[in-house]
Amino acid sequence: MHSRLVATVMAAAAFSACGPRLPFRVDVPSEFQQDPPGWSRPNGEPERVRYANAYEAFWWNCTILKSQDLEARCPAICSGTPGAAAGCGAGGTDSSNAIAALVKEHGSARTKQLLEARVRDADGFSRIKRYFVNGPQAEIVR
């Protein structure tokens, strides 16, 4: 019994290690690596930090939304400094595009399972609070 359980756990680990991935990685563009000369930081954070924070929140917001409904529309626009606004756009768009590629390659059911696990394992809900204090929000189309 014990060896069967160990074999099952090892097989599950191997499957997840070899299966589809949705990596999270922020690459801050060069134009936001340094604050512009004479720039006054609105909240004390440099533009590279504001970009990264916005990217992370919008990437995870989209990932959470799509884990609940693959047809959800992810917002990719926010107000703020140039770095924050660019980070919002890139984060939401990158997540949406990566998820669309997963659906194309692995199908909706498998992608939804992957997203649910990714959000749960990485505590995605805690990563959106800076921008989405009331929880994930979809783009509203009127």
Is 36 part of a structural domain of the chain? no
Check residue 12 and give its pLDDT: 36
Is 41 part of a structural domain of the chain? no
* pLDDT tens, residue by residue, 63-101: 999 999 999 999 989 989 999 999 999 999 999 999 999
Is 47 part of a structural domain of the chain? no
Identify the band that residue 18 occupies on the pLDDT scale cut at 50, 70 and 90.
low
Q: How many structural domains compose the chain? A: 1
* Domain span including residue 96: 56-142
CA distance 114 to 17: 12
Tokens for 86?
């660019």
What's the helix, strand, coil split of the chain in %, to 5?
Answer: 60, 0, 40
Is 75 part of a structural domain of the chain? yes
Is 62 part of a structural domain of the chain? yes
Global pTM reads 0.84
All residues at 6 or more sequence positions from 97 whose CB lies less than 8 Å from its CB, including other chains? none
Is 43 part of a structural domain of the chain? no
* pLDDT tens, residue by residue, 92-138: 999 999 999 999 999 999 999 999 999 999 999 999 999 999 999 99
Check residue 83 and give its pLDDT: 95
Tokens for 76?
């990719």
Check residue 93 and give its pLDDT: 96
Instruction: Look at residues 2, 3, 16 and name the one whose alpha carbon lies nearest to residue 120.
Output: 16
Check residue 36 and give its pLDDT: 85
Is 122 part of a structural domain of the chain? yes
